[in-house]
Structure 1
Amino acid sequence: MEKQLYYVNLNPISMDTISNVRVNDGQLIEYEIEATEEEKKDFEKLLHEVNRHDVELGNLFSFRHFDETASDTDKNEYQAGLNDVYDRLYELGTAETKAKVKEIHLQNEDDHMPGL
């Protein structure tokens, strides 16, 4: 299957949409990726899952006392999901995107060290 150029943004409001059209918005950071239709759909699914976890309504309002352990678990799960997003972004990214990801250290270096 042939790869096409797509644009990804990590804005939580629109993070789960990958577009084939660049949005010229100075407030929005877009990353270019080259992906097949299947790779694009898989990446969109990952983005949707991570974005949905970030805004789970049950975690926003609760009648029970604040549970710091549950909060830490949620944060860790969300961060693990973001790490997966950054890894996929790097994997599918154009040379320019890969350079941006490296430059701003979006990937978790610990995930890529042998023996850890």
Structure 2
Amino acid sequence: MEKRIYYVNLNPISMDDISPVKIPDSSLIQYEIEATSEELEKMDFLLNETQDHDLESQNLFTFRHFDESIAETDRYEYQAGMDKVIQMIYDLGTAETKQKIEEIHMINDEEKRNMKPPR
């Protein structure tokens, strides 16, 4: 299957954006990847799933957001999702993307000491 170049946007507000062209906006964090349509679909799913855990809308209209154990679970799930997203960007990334990720140490192989797994 043929791979094509895409740009993954990790802006927290619109993290689900994947574009076939680089958007000329210096405020966006974009990573260049080479992906098949299947890989692109998986990346899109991961981005959307992670974005959903960033702010659980069901907790906004209840008092659940005051429950620290629920908030902690949401933080853990969001961080776990981001780790998967960054790893996939690295795996599919161009040489320049891989270098950028390595330079800023985005891939964290260490256990998250302050993050407890959900119960």
TM over 0.5: yes
Alignment root-mean-square deviation, CA: 1.6
CA distance in 2, matches of 1:64, 1:53: 14
Report the number of matched residues. Answer: 111
Residues 1:65 and 1:35: Cα distance change in structure 2 (over 3 Å): closer
CA distance in 2, matches of 1:3, 1:24: 23
Residues 1:38 and 1:65: Cα distance change in structure 2 (over 3 Å): closer
In structure 2, the gaps of 5 or more residues are 112-119
CA contact (8 A) 2:3 2:34 kept: yes
Q: Percent identity?
A: 58
- TM-score of the superposition, structure 2-length normalised? 0.85
- TM-score of the superposition, structure 1-length normalised? 0.87
What does residue 22 of structure 1 align with?
22
In structure 1, the gaps of 5 or more residues are 112-116
CA distance in 2, matches of 1:60, 1:32: 34
CA shift, 1:65, in A, is 8.1
Residues 1:65 and 1:110: Cα distance change in structure 2 (over 3 Å): closer
Alignment of 1:24-103 (within 5 A): 24-63=24-63, 66-103=66-103
CA contact (8 A) 2:56 2:74 kept: no
Partner secondary structure for residue 91 of structure 2: helix
